[in-house]
Amino acid sequence: MNAEFRRRVALVTGAGSRLGGEVVEALARRSALVAAVDGDGPRLADLVERLRDEGLLVAGRQIDVTSSDAVDALVDQVEREFGPVDALVAMAGALRLGPALSITDQDWSHSLAVNATGVFNTCRSVATRMVGRGRGRIVVVPAHAVAAPRPGVAAYAASRAAAVAYAECLAVEVAAGGVHCAVVAPADVRRVVDEVCFLLGGGGVSDALGA
């Protein structure tokens, strides 16, 4: 375990997924205090228990990222208990598969709510506080890569595109306030954890925009 992120508070949404759990663990092993967030309570509890048993500083928080009130309350609680959030990794995602002409209203709405609105709610809440402090780093990681249009992923691809566009616009707007924002596209999931840690550690954020 190294001390690269010692005394830094990181908030990771989508922590219960395999990739989200790997990011939480990587940050914790670099001595960050990680607030791991997911809507799946049992899966999140398993992750937190395993990492705490290894002596890592991880706190689990179960919320619905599609609720702006729930997100704001979460960020307030994390900052009261642990201190200002230095790093946000927005990874919460939902994948509803199906042909474009057969997408149900529910699947379409759920995809947009989690993949786009969830990113918006989390980034807005955290970034507002970061700008007020003049520092902070945000990395948005879409749950799945969609390098080219293909059958069966229209709802996810559309919601993912919205999240990426929002994050790129956010990056331009908050840069002057000392906050750095990037998008990491998981085309190669083996590299995502390293890229996230590199960017949160002060790496070349501008190089990752538009991924």
Burial 31-45 (b: 16+ CB within 10 A, else e): bbbbbbbbbeeebbe
Q: Which residues partner with 35 through β-bridges?
A: 11, 59
Reported as a single tens digit per residue, the pLDDT across 2-46 is: 778 888 999 999 999 999 999 999 999 999 999 999 999 999 999
Distance CA 130, CA 51 (A): 27
- Give the model confidence (pLDDT) of 165-180 as tens digits: 999 999 999 999 999 9
Q: What is the pLDDT of residue 207?
A: 36
pLDDT at 123: 98
So what's the pLDDT on residue 27?
96
What is the separation of C-alpha 120 from the centre of its chain, rounded to a whole number of angstroms?
Answer: 11
Catalytic center residues: 156
Map residue 2 onto helix, strand or coil: coil
CA distance 56 to 163: 31
Please tell me the pTM assigned to this model. Answer: 0.90
**How far is residue 198's CA from residue 204's CA, in Å, rounded to a whole number?**
8
Indicate the DSSP class of residue 203: -
pLDDT at 148: 65
Question: Residue 7: its pLDDT value, please?
Answer: 84
Are 118 and 101 spatial neighbours (Cβ–Cβ below 8 Å)? no
- Start-to-end CA distance of the chain, whole Å, equals 30
Mean confidence (pLDDT) of the chain: 90
> Any idea which of 56-65, 75-84, 191-200 has the lowest mean pLDDT?
191-200
Among the residue ranges 9-18, 77-86, 108-117, 192-201, the one predicted with the least confidence is 192-201
The residues near 6 (Cβ < 8 Å, ≥ 6 apart) are 30, 31, 32
